[in-house]
Amino acid sequence: MYRILIVDDEKIERNGIAFLLRQMKGEFEVSEAANGRQALDYLQKEDVDILLTDIRMPFMDGIELISKISEQKGGKSPLKIMIFSGYNEFDYAKSAVHYGVSEYILKPVDPEEFQASMKRVLREIDAIRADSLLKERSLSFMKEHLLYELLNGVTEEELVRMSSGLVDIQAFHAYRRMMLLEMNEEFFGVAGDAFEKELKSILPDTYQYLNLNLTQSVLLFPEQNHLIDWRSLAQQIYEKIKEVFGKECYIGVSGEIKDGTQISSVLDELERMVEYKFCQPETHIYSQINRQNPLMSAEEDDAMLKWIRQDLENKNIRAVREHFQKLCQKYRSLSQFSQIYMKFLFSNILKLLYDHTQGITEKELNESMEALYRATDLYKPMEIAEAMIERTAEEFAKSSGTVRREMETVKRYIHNHYSEDLSVDLMAEQVYMAPSYLSALFKKETGENISKYIKNYRMKKAKELLEDTHEKIVNVSVAVGYPNVSYFCQSFREYFGVSPQKFRSKGGKNEAVLERTE
């Protein structure tokens, strides 16, 4: 996009220049001004790439306009100036040469001359932009490289030497918080730009992202508003990764970093902390922040309630019991806590169970709530909630027949629409379930995930078409839901151990195929 300002006191002249610009290839954002004064006011507020100005105008002529622009030197990029002048004004226009005018165009404007001049100016702008982008990327790359070195324990003196004065090393002392993101499998190198785009949607405006390796990344934050809840932010990152990419992530959250010299040791501590994921696989957020803070305890409880809610949505009663027992163990191990808060917490669990279980009546809920708040010791609320969990388990068990019918509905839909574009979201709409819940149920009922089931069925149909018809391979590919014939051939070979062409040429007599279909 090129931003252009046309300045001429004659409207017909401005229209003519705008018309010539429309005849050229390129994206132009064109604005107009009737004299130099209007143009100068506009340029003080907006950035422009090219100024096309006449010489003779009222209030402020073109030469005075250029002079004032030269004094101000505003804008994000160097302004290119093109002057229009008549023959009797040409000597006058030459006086503007020391203001950096790029082109002189005589009036009346010749279209070919105008386009040639514009093309020269546009090439100059493109060259400036490319050079600026290259320098910006080079500095960004150097900054990342120096941060890697800082994380690896390189001293500040060595960083100063390595930077050659191009990067302000003192800026690294502004980082006050760090998060380590770790996966059990290769992710960060694969997700790439898509992952960074998702990060931008939830993180503060200012942060530094560094991809350490395929399984680890680091987030560094400068001094921020003290109201930021860092554990909650880490929880949001975890939930975003799980929602968008379907991956489990473990996140270590640092305490406050005093200066850049601590960054390396803080990373070491976060790595040791996240190692606990091997013995606590259900825990995803690990923090250096003081856990004695009562607000932090409440945050942990809130996270556990979210897990229980998700377990109920997935009708995973085993996971509900596990998360509930972890919550109970926490409060059994505490010597001091608010009795009112604990009762409020467990009453929320009762409400979650009621909301996700059709068979539990409002009367049962109210009776359980009353008994919970009358409790005089720690264990009674736990017993009441545990009893409600068992009621929920009974109701889930009653619905298992319905689940099987719903899975058969999904299978029938696949059998009838295998040639179309199928997805878990589309399948979920057929049975009014959340996609994640459907995936879990389908795997539980059939022993394989939906995508694998769809592929198996498509491969079976492809085999039948190759054996029983003379359809071209490309037609078979489309008929079984693969618009891309190359991808179909690759999938068929991976599945049967032989290409579709060879399978047909051998009349389906192939040991690998026979073994696959038995």
Residue pLDDT, tens place only, 160-171: 787 777 777 777
Coarse DSSP helix, strand, coil percentages of the chain, rounded to the nearest 5 percent: 60, 10, 25
Tokens for 332, please give them.
Answer: 């059994």
Nearest to 125 by CA among 167, 77, 166, 175: 77
The average pLDDT across 388-394 equals 86
Spatial separation of the C-alpha atoms in residues 184 and 334, rounded to whole Å: 32
Higher pLDDT: 216 or 25? It is 216
**Least confident segment among 392-396, 452-456, 513-517:** 513-517
Spatial separation of the C-alpha atoms in residues 113 and 117, rounded to whole Å: 6
The average pLDDT across 335-351 equals 80
Is the confidence at residue 88, as pLDDT, over 80?
Answer: no
Report the pLDDT value the prediction gives residue 487, as an integer from 0 to 100.
93
Report the pLDDT value the prediction gives residue 294, as an integer from 0 to 100.
40
Spatial separation of the C-alpha atoms in residues 380 and 385, rounded to whole Å: 9
pLDDT-based confidence at residue 75 (cuts at 50, 70, 90)? very low
Report the pLDDT value the prediction gives residue 72, as an integer from 0 to 100.
73
In 3-state terms, what secondary structure has residue 281?
coil
pLDDT-based confidence at residue 18 (cuts at 50, 70, 90)? very high
**Least confident segment among 124-128, 404-408, 505-509:** 505-509
Across the chain, mean pLDDT equals: 83
Calculate ∠ Cα 275-205-125, nearest 5°. Answer: 120
Burial of 284 (0-12, 13-18, 19+ CB in 10 A): buried
Is the confidence at residue 515, as pLDDT, over 50?
Answer: no
Report the pLDDT value the prediction gives residue 74, as an integer from 0 to 100.
46
Report the pLDDT value the prediction gives residue 400, as an integer from 0 to 100.
57
Spatial separation of the C-alpha atoms in residues 98 and 71, rounded to whole Å: 12
Is the confidence at residue 290, as pLDDT, over 90?
Answer: no
- DSSP character string of 169-207: GGGGGGEEEEEEEEESSS-HHHHHHHHHHHHHTTS-SS-
The average pLDDT across 294-317 equals 79
**Least confident segment among 150-154, 166-170, 423-427:** 166-170
Tokens for 39, please give them.
Answer: 């143009």
Q: What is the pLDDT of residues 457-479, one digit of tens each?
A: 999 999 999 999 999 999 999 99
Q: What is the pLDDT of residues 359-378, one digit of tens each?
A: 888 999 999 999 988 887 77
**Tokens 């005089």 appear where?**
376
Tokens for 458, please give them.
Answer: 């498509």
pLDDT-based confidence at residue 292 (cuts at 50, 70, 90)? very low
The pTM for the full model equals: 0.38
Q: What is the pLDDT of residues 189-216, one digit of tens each?
A: 788 788 888 988 888 888 888 888 888 9
Q: What is the pLDDT of residues 92-109, one digit of tens each?
A: 666 666 677 888 888 888
Stretch (H or E) spanning 452: helix 450-468
Higher pLDDT: 407 or 118? It is 118
The average pLDDT across 15-20 equals 93
In 3-state terms, what secondary structure has residue 505?
helix
Spatial separation of the C-alpha atoms in residues 348 and 352, rounded to whole Å: 6
Spatial separation of the C-alpha atoms in residues 253 and 230, rounded to whole Å: 7
Is the confidence at residue 507, as pLDDT, over 90?
Answer: no
pLDDT-based confidence at residue 341 (cuts at 50, 70, 90)? confident
Q: Which residues are paired to 220 by β-bridges? A: 178, 208
The average pLDDT across 493-516 equals 74
In 3-state terms, what secondary structure has residue 516?
helix
pLDDT-based confidence at residue 331 (cuts at 50, 70, 90)? confident
Report the pLDDT value the prediction gives residue 12, as an integer from 0 to 100.
92
